[in-house]
Amino acid sequence: MAPTGPDRIYDVVVIGTGVAGALAAYHLKRAGLDVLMLEAGATLPEYETRRALRRRYVASFSKAPTSPYVGFVAPQPNAEDSPLIPPDGRDYYIQDYTLPTNPKKATTKDKLFQSYYQRTLGGSMAHWQGIAIRMVPADFTLDSEGKVPGAVDWPIEYDDLEPFYHEAEHQIGVAGSEEMDQLLGVRRPSGGFPMTPVPLSYVDKIFRSKLHGKTFNGQTIAVTATPQARITEESYARQEGRKICEGYGTCIPMCPTRAKYESLFHIEKAIDLGAEIRTKAIVTKLELASQESGRISRAIYKQRNDDVHSVRGKLFILAANGIESPKLLLLSTQPGAPYGLANSSRTVGCYLMDHPLKASYATAKEPVYPHRGPPSTSAIETFRDGPFRSKYAAFRTSIRNDGWSFANSAPRGRDPTKLFQSRGTLLEFVGQKRLFGAELQRRLSAIRIARFSCTVLAKCCRSKAIA
């Protein structure tokens, strides 16, 4: 099929409307450039209002990050509420079921890449957790500092990025405390946080009183407030036309009040300045102006009605995610680029990294009253750096406010036909065991459930080719 319709040459064409694309579109349009955004997904209001999305989430059994967006997320194998999944589980992700990531495990689910994202205006920032932490200065120089033998230093240092960290924090509205920065040697010559931190929850205070100042492997444990993109001050809320965080616990999959930052906010600003946007526009190929220049001059995209269009631009910004961006580069084969664009190394699409996570669940001896506030408002950041990095990766441990919901959607539970997913929840005690009154209170441990979440950060990049 040949591209249809006349071409118009834009100053900038932005592909993807996640946080990078949204910020780029807004700032370039504010600078007076002619900007077009192309988004494969649809605009959320075409489907439902934010209030309707909240109702859909409340009614869902799984309480998964995709629950409010069923029907217009990118189809994926672990979307439990999605009616889009065919019986064999194969859909948008084409994966080899015969090659499990862990040979010791044999179930289909263990063989799949299980991260998720949305194909909607604004991308997956609607359901991100909102945590906004900087890299530690030592992350950039593991080799020269001698922490990881055989590592490769970054070609830039922390101080090169610091002004941009500062600008990003003010653009998206990060609330935080410099207590964590001082612990990790994170310098802020450009200035502090734009807002004071989200207050510590009761759970945070309990664990801080028990852990703060203790030592482990020779390092002193500190429980500190977590920087996050949520509004905590009225002046910033008025400036942005949003609200102060009211402590809802549904930040994943959505903030019901617009207190948490979403890419949608900068898209709205860009459109108000005159930027154009085309939704349901799936870019299928990028074309070079010439083999010698290496510059992209045209994007081919398909609309939902299968019409094929093209658009020309002086500058293209590929701002899709870690799956969509390399996919598009690999699809864009042409003379002089037989393996796709920007792929002379033949590594485009390789080395996709997620952050391994280990969750620990417990019943505390005393009430900790979870399910208050955002999913996590404090963490143990102590082990993001230290002499141990020559042996194992850095990690951070979040103290969670969302109890056991990650494991079994407590206190409600999941599908009542699957008892093993509902044990220890209100759904089981009331709906299945018919408990009430004093007996229900005795059995219910919801006020004492606690969870830690350890996220492993990349150890290092040992290959010069990858670096």
Q: Which domains does the chain have, with CATH numbers?
A: 9-43+266-331 (3.50.50.60)
82 or 36, higher pLDDT: 36
pTM, 2 dp:
0.85
67 or 47, higher pLDDT: 67
pLDDT digits (tens, 9 = 90+) for 219-239: 999 999 999 999 999 999 999
pLDDT at 296: 94
pLDDT at 467: 25
Task: Name the DSSP class of 1.
Answer: -
Residues 161-175 have a mean pLDDT of 96
The two most distant CA atoms of the chain are separated, in Å, by 78
Position 73: which residue type?
A: V
Torsion sign, CA atoms 20, 21, 24, 30? negative
Cβ neighbors of 453 (< 8 A, separation 6 or more) are 357, 358, 359, 360, 376, 397, 398, 400, 406
pLDDT at 117 exceeding the cut of 90: no
What is the rounded (10 degree) CA torsion for 457, 117, 19, 305?
Answer: 160
Q: How far is CA 271 from the centre of its chain?
A: 24
Total residues found in the chain within this entry: 467
Q: What is the mean pLDDT of the chain?
A: 82
Residue 164 CA: distances (Å) to CA of 29, 134, 190, 359:
19, 11, 9, 32
